[in-house]
Each structure stands twice: as structure tokens, then as C-alpha cells.
Amino acid sequence: MSASKHPNAYHEDPRNPGHWFYGDLRIQSDIAAHEFVTRYALGNLQKEGRILDIATGEGALARQLLDGGMRVSVTTWNDKCRVDVPTYRVNLDHPFVLSDVGSLPYDLVCCIEIIEHLENPARFLRDAARLIAPGGTIILSTPNVESAQARLQWLTRGYPSIFGEAEVKKNRHIAMMWRHGLEHLIDLAGLDVIEKHLLGRFSMRPGLRSFAKRLAYAAMGMFLPGDIRGTTRLYVLRAGERVSGCQGPEDVY
């Protein structure tokens, strides 16, 4: 059943454009990433396939996957999940043993806009790689700091707003993941990139200022190199020949 026909369909917060809900559950990441994960899971996993949603927030993605008939477990570090699924409390800044996240392995592990919140992204990727079954998949997303919007903010502020002081203090955006650095860490974790996507649109309020920004973004997209389009960078990953990274769990990171 499509999201538009489901009673838990997506709807935008009328008081805060660009912020979305699934039913009464707030989506705390790019809605396009949730849509991608749901389509991927329904199109590629068997109904008995097992999914782990890491750092689930209120559980919006877990609910979408449940509504699609999938088997879902989640991890949380703030106990805000409001979906009735197996839930494991895990502090992702600390090393965790595999038993912390239930019985293994999982067919799909979802890491949606979490890596930028972590003290040690490299260790997190190695740990995530150990959770998937042979042939299993990790879907990882993070803000695209090469986007036209981010580049204009670099020019006018000196940093992308999502990594400004307020976001660091309120939402703990502490690890800015550049494309080349992130892909290097993915490789060190023994993971292969199967697909890469740029998702999401720039959310703006109506008005002359927003119109001018749109023109600036369009011009940047025509003339500047790099991943200009899309607010979110998303990867589909699979385990390569190396199971836990090229140097093992105690490497230099």
C-alpha cells in the first residue's frame, strides 16, 4: 500500500515547513531517505527478512517498515521510540558487543542521519558491518555538505548552518562527513558501495528572498563541480571480502 493511501501517510508540519510526520511520529531526518529505505526494503527483502533501525528517534521509519509487513527491531539512546518493536538501548559513542542489539545477523541495517552525531564514525561503521548477514545491506545517510545550499552558507557564514553552534549544542551535529572522507571510512570498515544517491530538496518559505536563493542554487548547479544537488547523501553498502575492516577493531581510529 502506498504511503498516500495508508492511514499513517506522510504529512508536513503546517507550523514548520520542511518538517514531516508519519502518522503522529516526527521524522527526524530527510523524508526522502525514509521513502528510499521503505522502497528498497519492500522491493529487495523477503517478508521474513530482519531489519535493524539504528537510533530510531520516535520510530517513524520503523513504523513505515512495519506497515509494509517487515520485521523490525530498533536501537535508541534517548528512549523516545513510540513504536512497539524489539528495542535495544545502545550508546553509539561507546563500543558495544553484538548481543546489545539482539540476535544476529540482520538483512538490512538502517543508519539514517546518525553518523554525523557520533564521536567516532569509523568505529561505528565497523560495528555496523558486523551486524549484517552475508549478502546483507546497510543503508547510510548523512547531510550533503557539498550541496548548493551548504556552499552558499559556507560563503556567507563560514560553515553550513546544520553544523553551526546552535545545531552542535541542540542536536549534536559534531561530525561533518565529506564525501571522500566518508567513503574512505566505508572502505576501511570492509564495506563496498553498491549505490550512491543525492536526495532531498531545499525547503524554503515563499518570498522574494527565497526566490533569489533558488536562482543562486540553480546557477551554482550549472557552474560548480561536485555534488551540488540534494540535501542528503545516501549510500547502499554491502560487506566486502573484509569482514571487520582492514586492520580490525583496534586500528588507528
pLDDT digits (tens, 9 = 90+) for 26-42: 999 999 999 999 999 99
Q: Where are the beta strands (DSSP E) in 79-157?
A: 87-89, 106-112, 132-143
Residue 171 predicted with pLDDT over 80: yes
Domain boundaries, given as residue ranges, for the chain? 3-143+173-202+235-239
What are the pLDDT digits (tens) for 204-214? 455 566 656 66
Q: Where are the beta strands (DSSP E) in 50-91?
A: 50-53, 71-76, 87-89
Which residue would you say has higher pLDDT here, 100 or 194? Answer: 194
Contact 67, 55 (CB under 8 A): no
What are the pLDDT digits (tens) for 230-245? 889 999 999 976 444 3
What are the pLDDT digits (tens) for 135-146? 999 999 999 999
Q: What is the mean pLDDT of residues 12-20?
A: 82
Relative orientation angle of helices 60-67 and 31-44, to the nearest 10 degrees: 30
- Cα 124 to Cα 62: distance, rounded to the nearest angstrom: 20
Residue 108 predicted with pLDDT over 70: yes
HSE toward the beta carbon, residue 177, CA cutoff 13 A: 27
Q: Which amino acid is at 185?
A: L
Q: Alpha carbon 124 to chain centroid distance?
A: 13
pLDDT at 252: 31
Which residue would you say has higher pLDDT here, 206 or 181? Answer: 181
**Homologous superfamily assigned to 3-143+173-202+235-239:** Vaccinia Virus protein VP39 (3.40.50.150)
pLDDT at 37: 98
pTM of the model: 0.86
pLDDT at 242: 47
**What is the signed CA dihedral for 153, 154, 157, 160, rounded to 10 degrees?**
60
